[in-house]
Structure 1
Amino acid sequence: MKQRTFVMIKPDGVKRRLIGEIISRFEKRGFNIVAMKLIHMDRATAERLYEEHRGKSFYEELINYITSGPVVCMVIEGDEAVSVVRKMIGNTDPKDAPPGTIRGDFALSKSENVIHASDSEEKAKREMGIFFAEKELIIV
């Protein structure tokens, strides 16, 4: 089933010049990028993205980190995109992410783990809506 999902290369991934490598992995897997932009996220947008973590001990650190530098926001389309992309990125904690996954190969720590991807269709729709207007999504 063809789906769309939201993916974001985090500030550490951008700073370490991993954008091309990460995009290449998705393209080689057969996914299409239907929207993409490089932004410096402001606090209000970061709070919308991570609202489910508000009140948790790591919330402020997360907001400060995600707003610390540019990020690449993407909408990726393909068969079973949500679950396949999640498998491709690996576990949040890189020590638990297998080699061959994006986090297993590139993440430095649980907090600087290179990439974010929606974990459900509902979250994908919500997160895509935070960063992209419907007219910005390309029909492939």
Structure 2
Amino acid sequence: MEKSLVLIKPDGIKRKLVGEIIKRYEYRGLMIENIKMIKPTTNMLKQHYIEHIDKPFFAELVDYMSSDFVVAIVLSGEHAIELVRKINGSTNYMQAELGSIRGDFANSITRNLVHGCDSPESFKREYDIWFG
């Protein structure tokens, strides 16, 4: 069984979509291994988004993600990483397929409801940040 890390971002919580988002993962057979609600620190977010540190949107992203609580979830299942990314939809909500979380609910590239890790290596690194 593969594991994936998902973050439900502050806009998902504020818009009361946490249950709907979790339901979509569970309907596809993914199992919740661990879940918690946390208000991330700037340091956590700098570690999490380290690959974006030199990009122009980095400060806005860290400010947004540290503005309120985030739900961190470890999901497991067959091809969990790829499946989560498909359920989430494209980062750009305008390109996300209808039926995906972002395709159905997102209205901003930054405030796009969810994050999913993109590889087993990023799962390990992100797990250590959020659950370590």
Q: Do both share a fold (TM > 0.5)?
A: yes
Q: Which residue of 1 aligns with 2:67?
A: 68
Q: Which residue of 2 aligns with 1:36?
A: 35
**Structure 2 unaligned spans of 5+:** none
- What letter matches 2:50 in structure 1? E
TM-aligned CA deviation for residue 131 of structure 1: 1.1
Aligned 1:123-134 pairs, distance under 5 A = 123-133=122-132
**Structure 1 unaligned spans of 5+:** 134-140
TM-aligned CA deviation for residue 129 of structure 1: 1.2
Count of residues paired in the alignment: 132
Is this contact kept in 2: 1:10–1:114, CA < 8 A?
A: yes
Runs of 4+ with >6 A deviation: none
RMSD: 0.7
TM-aligned CA deviation for residue 108 of structure 1: 1.0
Is this contact kept in 2: 1:107–1:113, CA < 8 A?
A: yes
TM-aligned CA deviation for residue 125 of structure 1: 1.1
Q: Which residue of 1 aligns with 2:47?
A: 48
DSSP-derived class of the 1:8 partner: strand
- Per the normalisation by structure 2, the TM-score is 0.98
DSSP-derived class of the 2:84 partner: helix
Structure 1 vs Structure 2: percent identity of aligned residues? Answer: 44
- Per the normalisation by structure 1, the TM-score is 0.92
Q: Which residue of 2 aligns with 1:13?
A: 12
DSSP-derived class of the 1:37 partner: strand
Distance across 1 between alignment mates of 2:43 and 2:124: 19
